[in-house]
A and B are shown apart, each in its own frame.
Chain A
Amino acid sequence: ELKVEQNPLFLSMQEGKNYTIYCNYSTTSDRLYWYRQDPGKSLESLFVLLSNGAVKQEGRLMASLDTKARLSTLHITAAVHDLSATYFCAAQETSGSRLTFGEGTQLTVNP
């Protein structure tokens, strides 16, 4: 059974600072997804990572995947208040069609 763990679960940071959110998964997976959720809203897709060493960047967010370590990271550079949200990673088993989500990281960026 695939399990996905994120840390930290809560993150409070100042504007302008850098930080990384970690996503570990328990079994073989060749696909890792990052989503953003604003309070009371739906989930918005941020990144799709499909191979070992994959790196994708969008604005101040950069995601990477290390399939050998079963680890994905979401790096935040020079945080701004608009990045405040809950971020979820989700992994899918190689032969399956189901996503398993992490618990989410609630990010608050303070002025």
Chain B
Amino acid sequence: NAGVTQTPKFRVLKTGQSMTLLCAQDMNHEYMYWYRQDPGMGLRLIHYSVGEGTTAKGEVPDGYNVSRLKKQNFLLGLESAAPSQTSVYFCASSPGRKDQPQHFGDGTRLSIL
């Protein structure tokens, strides 16, 4: 049982390049989330989805886009990477029940030069 899998684990980009981070979960969870983690700031929600085909903005959505074409996958896109987007990105999923916590992937460490 893999849980939540993030691809890639590390990436270095140049300013202006684009890329897509992939999150896959095998727990049949309805809800999926993308966070970024920066030193001293905890986790901040970028975008989230409450079901296949749905997406919604979180706390820091600017510069990112997402898609949830399949229930098990949640993609995070950076259209034109900026140094301010250097961060660790975590994907999480949950069944949407309040007695069940979110399950997190191992993270993607992204550096923008």
Contacts and interface: CB of A to CB of B under 8 A. Distances in A.
Contact of B98 (A88, A92, A98): A92
B62 interface: no
Contacts of B99: 48, 50
Interface in A69-111: 88, 90, 92, 97-104
B50 A88 contact: no
A68 interface: no
Contacts of A43: 43, 90, 92, 104
Interface of B: 31, 33, 35, 40-45, 48, 50, 58-59, 90, 92, 96, 98-107
Interface of A: 9, 30-31, 33, 35, 41-45, 48, 50, 88, 90, 92, 97-104
Identify whether the interface residues of A are mostly helix, strand, loop, or mixed.
strand
B90 A48 contact: no
A6 B106 CA distance: 24
Contacts of A9: 40
Contact of A33 (B35, B50, B101): B101
20 contacts: A31-B98, A33-B101, A33-B102, A42-B90, A42-B104, A42-B106, A42-B107, A48-B98, A88-B42, A97-B31, A98-B45, A98-B48, A99-B33, A99-B45, A99-B102, A101-B42, A101-B44, A102-B42, A103-B41, A104-B42
Contacts of B90: 42-43
A33 to B, nearest CB: 5
A92 B58 CA distance: 13
Nearest to A47: B101
B104 A30 contact: no
Contacts of B107: 41-42
A90 B59 CA distance: 14
